[in-house]
Structure formats: structure tokens, C-alpha cells
């Protein structure tokens, strides 16, 4: 009789451990907010004075990590990703410009 209780107890311990292994860790329902260190100092510019962002600059102040998004045809969608680093990177993208952000009073200085 005691051996029967030991077997049942062992089976219970194994079942509990297996149940714990089968469960997955909880996942975030949304991405965590990016920190200022990840984004740099962000400024928004409206180069053609239409009230929409045309240039979004991420300035880290050092280390060749600066990057920007550009709406080169002023249609409300960023179409260029630029990164200044050891080499200059320019990629085609398609991303809507942000709304409800503070637009810098000066032009970006970006020449199209």
C-alpha cells in the first residue's frame, strides 16, 4: 500500500511540473514606449508650410547615429530613411507622417 501512495505522489509532482513547462510566458499587448536614448532628440519640420511634417530628425549629438525620415514629395507619407554614420545610408520607405506633434519653426535644411 505505501508504494501505491509514493507512485501517486510522484505522478502528481511530474504532472504539475509538466503543466508549468507547457504554459507560455505572458506577452505584452503593445510595444513598450521607446526611451529618449533610443530615439535621440526628435525634431519635426514643415519645409513647405502646409502644416504637415516633411522632415523628422533623430539627433543623438554624437557617435554617427543620427537618422531622419523625409517626405520628399510632400504627400503626407515619408518616403526616405536617411542615416548618417560611417557611411551615408538612404533607403526608400513608406510610412505616414505623424500628426499632433510640435513642428519646429525653422526649415530642416534638407535639400531635395
Instruction: Please write the tens of the pLDDT for every residue from 30-79.
Output: 566 666 567 679 999 999 999 999 999 998 887 788 899 999 999 999 99
CB atoms within 10 A of CB 84: 14
Domain boundaries, the chain: 36-104
C-alpha to C-alpha distance for 108 and 46, rounded to whole angstroms: 8
Grid cell 501512495 in the structure block, residue: 5
Backbone angles phi, psi at 19, to 5 degrees: -65, -40
Is this structure's pTM higher than 0.85?
Answer: no
Amino acid at each position: 500500500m505505501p508504494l501505491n501512495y509514493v507512485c501517486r505522489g510522484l505522478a502528481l509532482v511530474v504532472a504539475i511540473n509538466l503543466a508549468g513547462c507547457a504554459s507560455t510566458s505572458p506577452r505584452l499587448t503593445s510595444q513598450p514606449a521607446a526611451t529618449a536614448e533610443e530615439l535621440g532628440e526628435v525634431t519635426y519640420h514643415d519645409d513647405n508650410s502646409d502644416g504637415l511634417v516633411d522632415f523628422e530628425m533623430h539627433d543623438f549629438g554624437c557617435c554617427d547615429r543620427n537618422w531622419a525620415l523625409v517626405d520628399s514629395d510632400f504627400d503626407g507619407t515619408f518616403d526616405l530613411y536617411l542615416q548618417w554614420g560611417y557611411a551615408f545610408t538612404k533607403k526608400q520607405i513608406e510610412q505616414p507622417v505623424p500628426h499632433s506633434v510640435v513642428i519646429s519653426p525653422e526649415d530642416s535644411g534638407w535639400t531635395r
